């Protein structure tokens, strides 16, 4: 089959400051997949950090910006966290992503390491399901100035300090006052993030095609403070009214400390991530497998 994607970038999960055996294992996996892609008539490049941390030098290395500008496809080897990190960065370029999962089944890295040789050739030839995921843009405003900004594919979370009590948070939607929440924090989750921290906090599952967010209080003081589903064109504002050592996290991968009076503004990003899945993929199949539905048991 002639590949639909000529130049393919490979991003791998690697472990820094760990044993040589783990590093060698990661190197072997990335090397094997890179060689397989080459055998499928693809020009393979490695993401720069992947190349540096695995020590693989036989393939050209590009940084993420260069991958976005020059590559037709990005294959991500790891778990959902690895995919979130690279997916946020490549969304602005519209680069499609394929996820090969190492270990447990992921929600967005859905090809098992054991089966990639059977699955990838058909996908490279154009047989796949395409799945677009919205991103959020979060800003922390302090005295009218933006002091922190980050994109999120899963969620923006405002948390209390580890050694402090509840925080009080004033929530507004498009400038309309919603409520003051006294809680351990609050989550604004995309449909992608509805299966992450939001789910653990009692939030709803949102299908990826639903243009919505879930606003989910974390351990609220008032039990009637329930999760609410919002249309995603709105802007959510969360103000720190009371509480010490609060912080805001973006996909749990970037974090900033918050001060009393800070306002966290969350709106839909102009960018969307593009995931490619094997032909016949279904979001509901993933839910059943990951959440162990229909398994019964005592």
Structure token digits, residue 54: 């695995």
CATH superfamily of 7-126: Probable inorganic polyphosphate/atp-NAD kinase; domain 1 (3.40.50.10330)
Give the model's confidence band at 198: pLDDT under 50 very low, under 70 low, under 90 confident, else very high.
very high
The share of the chain scoring above pLDDT 90, in percent, equals: 78
Mean pLDDT of the chain: 91
Strands 263-278 and 236-242: antiparallel
Higher-pLDDT residue of 277, 105: 277
Domain layout of the chain by residue ranges = 7-126, 135-270
Give the model's confidence band at 233: pLDDT under 50 very low, under 70 low, under 90 confident, else very high.
very high
Nearest to 245 by CA among 173, 159, 116: 159
CATH superfamily of 135-270: Probable inorganic polyphosphate/atp-NAD kinase; domain 2 (2.60.200.30)
Question: What does pTM read for this prediction?
Answer: 0.91
Q: Quick check: 62 pLDDT over 90? A: yes
Whether 80 sits among the annotated catalytic residues: the reply is: yes
The share of the chain scoring above pLDDT 70, in percent, equals: 93
Catalytic residue among 32, 63, 72, 80: 80
Return the pLDDT at 19.
Answer: 47
CB 240 within 8 A of CB 246: yes
Match 């993030």 to its residue by tokens.
Answer: 193
Identify the weakest region by mean pLDDT among 14-28, 72-86, 202-216, 273-287. Answer: 14-28
């Amino acid at each position: 089959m002639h590949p639909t994607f000529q130049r393919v970038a490979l991003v791998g999960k690697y472990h820094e400051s760990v044993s040589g055996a783990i590093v060698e294992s990661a190197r072997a996996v990335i090397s094997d997949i890179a060689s397989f892609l080459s055998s499928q008539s693809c020009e393979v490049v490695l993401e720069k950090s992947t190349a540096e941390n695995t020590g693989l030098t036989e393939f050209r290395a590009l940084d993420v910006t260069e991958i976005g500008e020059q590559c037709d496809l990005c294959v991500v080897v790891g778990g959902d966290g690895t995919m979130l990190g690279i997916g946020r960065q490549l969304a602005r370029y519209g680069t499609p992503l394929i996820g090969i999962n190492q270990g447990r089944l992921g929600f967005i890295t859905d090809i098992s390491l054991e089966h990639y040789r059977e699955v990838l050739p058909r996908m490279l030839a154009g047989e796949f399901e395409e799945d677009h995921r919205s991103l959020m843009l979060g800003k922390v405003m302090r005295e009218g100035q933006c002091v922190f900004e980050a994109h999120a594919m899963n969620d923006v979370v405002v948390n209390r300090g580890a050694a402090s009590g509840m925080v009080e948070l004033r929530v507004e939607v498009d400038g309309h006052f919603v409520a003051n929440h006294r809680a351990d924090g609050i989550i604004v989750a995309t449909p992608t993030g509805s299966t992450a921290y939001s789910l653990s906090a009692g939030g709803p599952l949102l299908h990826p095609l639903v243009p919505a967010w879930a606003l989910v209080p974390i351990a609220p003081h008032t039990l009637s403070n329930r999760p609410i589903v919002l249309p995603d064109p709105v802007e959510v504002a969360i103000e720190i009214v009371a509480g010490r050592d609060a912080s805001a996290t973006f996909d749990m991968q970037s974090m900033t400390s918050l001060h009393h009076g800070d306002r966290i503004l969350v709106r839909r990003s102009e960018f969307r991530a593009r995931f490619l899945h094997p032909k016949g993929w279904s979001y509901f199949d993933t839910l059943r497998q990951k959440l162990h539905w229909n398994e019964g048991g005592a």
